[in-house]
Structure 1
Amino acid sequence: MDDLSSLFVGAFILTILIYIGCITYVNHMRTSFFKYIKKRNYQLVKNISIRFKDIPRRNTSGYAFSTADIIFLNKEIFLLPHNKPIMHISQSSEIVPGAQDKYKLSYFSIQQNILEIKATRNTFNITFTLNFENKDFALLSVDRNL
């Protein structure tokens, strides 16, 4: 019985250490990303509501968030969910330091305060719906830059 409780305590401590390691890694990647864009002209919009469509079943755990900060940099979009890797949406093949998930932009549309983005990654398509309602941000500037 004593060995079993030691095993559970050890597994619990190991789980906590792995979680702390993952959070530290994501924060390090985020720091390197902000160093990369530091002297560039970008627009940051905080706490944007996001919905996902057409997610393959095997990848649903990576999209378990509903808000994120959005950065518009030249012809690129970055989604910064809290405590998750940075998502990079662009038509270019440039690799940005700190951005871990790269999506190729295939289509976007702006209707009222909603930006809908269709992108591909490897073999699957995904649709991001970003709701800019009640945000002080001009979506038309995005239309000119993408």
Structure 2
Amino acid sequence: MAQLAAHPGLATLYLQGTKITDAGLKPVKGMKSLSHLGLRATGITDAGLAHLAGMDRLEGLDLGHTKIGDAGIEHLKGLKGLKGLDIVETEVTDRSIPILGGFERLERINPRDSKITEAGEEQLRKLLPKLEIDHG
């Protein structure tokens, strides 16, 4: 990862299915031009998402099939540029709705098989009326 961080122009990084750890994610914080990050089916936990705090250029984030929960979503509060978020089969619950609703630029979210209820989705729709909630 440290070698990848040495490429300041890197915009997209997909690590799906790799053995990346929370500690291994630390160099990502220095990738200031990163706009899309895929962490699907990795061992990343809530603690690892702390390394993404403040990455305001990040537009797309795939956390599907991870153990991420509400504590992890808390670390993402500062991602003001986030447009797409995939939380398929995560531990994210309705407690994260206020944070998710704070992503003013969020256009699409996929919460399929997460712990977000239909009531939570309705609350999210009220906060972000133009949001596409995709279960595909």
Q: TM-score range by the shorter chain?
A: under 0.3
* Structure exhibiting the larger radius of gyration computed from Cα positions: 1
Higher strand share: 1
Task: Return the TM-score normalized by structure 1.
Answer: 0.24
Higher relative contact order, structure no. (Cα contacts within 8 Å, ≥ 6 residues apart): 1
Task: Return the TM-score normalized by structure 2.
Answer: 0.25
